[in-house]
Amino acid sequence: MFSTLSVEAERATTDIKSADIVIGIPSFNNAKTIGHVVKACYAGLFKYFPQMSSVVINSDGGSTDGTREAVLTASVDEKSLMVLSTPLFPIHRLSVPYHGIPGKGSAFRTIFEMARRLGARACAVVDADLRSITPEWIDLLLRPILLANYEFVAPYYHRHKYDGTITNSIVYPLTRMLYGSQVRQPIGGDFGVSARVIDCYLRKDVWETDVARFGIDIWMTTVAIAEGFRTCQSFLGAKLHDAKDPASDLRAMLQQVVGSIFELMDTYEPTWSRRSESVTVPVFGFCFDVGLEPIAVDVDGMLREFQRGARELGEVWSLALTPTTFQEIKKVAGASEIAGEFHLSDSLWARIVLEFSVAYKAHPLLRGQLLGSLTPLYLGRVASFVYETRMMTSREVEDRIESLCVTFESLKPYLAQLWRGRGESKDTHLEVKNV
């Protein structure tokens, strides 16, 4: 199989020869945080897997802020870890450049290719901007694979109720409805995978596509679930990282993540069309409440974007949506001008997402315009959700997200009917303004 590894990465794998465990950290200008991540990975391997050979690999996208130097100079006082068993092997640490289109997926490809070359039994990948990672994360992401025969370990976090709004409003409900698996954080960013899953990923022809940008996390999760790999979750506590206000510029991420989900719906239609209900997924680790950093949310800004979309994007919305759904949105947009009257219901939101997925399939030449026009609708939904949940506890908000998921699941027959009824249609040109 053709290798995309850099000369530096090729040389490193040849020198090390083999490893039981690989930890991968993709990066781009993360010098401020990656040293802590490397230390946590090193301590986790030293403490929990002293009898196994391991490698920590930083796959870097051309950082100019000293990220790679921070990886190689981060140090841990091994005496302070007070391990009960002396490690049999040194823990190797590498920082190598990746080749391919810029993005996290290309970094993962390098990590996975190196893990396969080294014959790793398990591989974990973690984000470079984490501030809450602990050595226990390494144990929780790897032990289910090494000792309990799981092949894909998804993260399970406590997050602020307005952190991860793309996950909460679209990715989790839609993925759960489609594939019948209640993996709570499908794009969490920190995963454990087996050697068989790595081989499966590397065989796929996606690494030179947009999946290799923002879509890689949902792609990894979907492939693992849809292709029947044994899946679990591990509770990692809080995820503290460089979170963003949902009203900030998340357009590229929203469009590429949602676009990846819609692409995968077409690929795995024979799989999701046969699954009628969702099942729980085991969670390992001790679940506990943790303090979370507050997130400021610009609700007024989100609502303005929604209102602007309603004024300017009627043509593309009418193409994507059924007449009934489009009329309901116009009513909601009218009510949004009245203080305290704005509400975009679970049922309407679920139908918007499902109808956009069908329009994405039916109009391949208009996919960029369709996804761009979804952004103000998403912001409207988040604004409505914030209005509704401002006084709720995190537990109560989680119950609301569960209710949204149940609504999505109840509409799966509706999706199936739309999917069968709208194949590819002739595209027409739409003059869509940027929103």
Structure confidence by residue, pLDDT tens digits, 336-374: 666 566 899 999 999 999 999 999 999 999 999 999 999
249: confidence class by pLDDT, cuts 50, 70, 90: low
pLDDT at 424: 45
pLDDT, tens digit (0-9, with 9 covering 90-100), for 261-298: 999 999 999 999 999 899 999 999 987 766 666 677 88
pLDDT in the model for residue 292: 62
Structure tokens at 79: 């005496």
Q: Give dist(CA 264, CA 257) in Å, integer.
A: 11
- 91 SS3 class: strand
Confidence band for 245, pLDDT divided at 50, 70 and 90: very low
Could you tell me which residues come within 8 angstroms of residue 370 by beta carbon, excluding any fewer than 6 positions away? Answer: 316, 319, 320, 356, 359, 360, 363
Sequence-distant (≥ 6) Cβ neighbours of residue 300 within 8 angstroms: none
pLDDT(65) > 80: yes
**More reliable by pLDDT, 64 or 88:** 64
Asked if pLDDT for residue 68 goes beyond 60, the answer is yes
Q: Does position 333 have pLDDT exceeding 60, yes or no? A: yes
So what's the pLDDT on residue 252? 80
Q: How far apart, in whole angstroms, are the C-alpha atoms of residue 151 and residue 378?
A: 33
Residue 426 has pLDDT above 70, yes or no: no
- Angle between helix axes 104-117 and 216-226 (nearest 10 degrees) is 50
Average pLDDT of the chain to the nearest whole number: 89
Q: Are the C-beta atoms of 56 and 21 separated by less than 8 Å?
A: no
CA gap 395, 16 in Å, rounded: 47
What pLDDT digit, counting tens, does each position of 124-176 carry? 999 999 999 999 999 999 999 999 999 999 999 988 888 889 999 999 999 99
Of residues 156, 267, 152, 153, the one with CA closest to residue 211:
267
Residue 55 pLDDT level (bands cut at 50, 70, 90): very high
- Cα of 320 vs its chain's centroid, Å: 25
Q: What is the 8-class DSSP label of residue 93?
A: E
| pLDDT for the residue 86 | 61
Q: Collect all residues with Cβ–Cβ distance below 8 Å to 9 and sequence separation of at least 6.
A: 94, 96, 97, 98, 110, 113, 114
CATH number of 7-284: 3.90.550.10
Domain ranges (residues) in the chain: 7-284, 299-421
Band of residue 433 on the pLDDT scale cut at 50, 70, 90: very low
**Residue 83: pLDDT band with limits 50, 70, 90:** low
Q: What is the pLDDT of residue 430?
A: 47
Query: Is the pLDDT at 2 greater than 70, yes or no?
Result: no
Q: How many residues does the chain have?
A: 435
**Rg for the chain (alpha carbons), in Å?**
22
Confidence of residue 78 (pLDDT cuts 50, 70, 90): low
- How, if at all, do strands 54-60 and 91-97 pair? parallel
The answer to whether 162 and 246 are in contact (CB under 8 A) is: yes
**Element (H or E) spanning 401, and its range?**
helix 394-410
Mean pLDDT for 180-197 is 96
pLDDT given at position 429: 43
The identity of residue 292, as a single letter, is L
Helix or strand holding residue 55 (H, E): strand 54-60
